[in-house]
Amino acid sequence: MIFRIWSLNSVIWQKELLFSAFWCAMMKKMNTQEVLGYG
């Protein structure tokens, strides 16, 4: 029971981490495009 809850939280945490990494990558890409565009 405890392990099942822990594994579920682990999966959710991994998805959140992947989403955060993807979001940061997108923001960096946008910032890079803006810098190249304005530069």
Confidence of residue 6 (pLDDT cuts 50, 70, 90): confident
- pLDDT at position 24 is 87
- pLDDT at position 2 is 74
The values of phi and psi at residue 20, to 5°, are -65, -45
Per-residue model confidence as pLDDT tens digits over 8-32: 889 888 999 999 999 888 888 887 7
Would you say residue 1 has pLDDT above 60? yes
Give the C-alpha separation, 39 to 9, whole Å.
44
Query: Can you give the residue ranges of every domain in the chain?
Result: 1-39
Opening angle at CA 22, ends 7 and 38, nearest 5: 165
- pLDDT at position 14 is 92
Give the C-alpha separation, 15 to 12, whole Å.
5
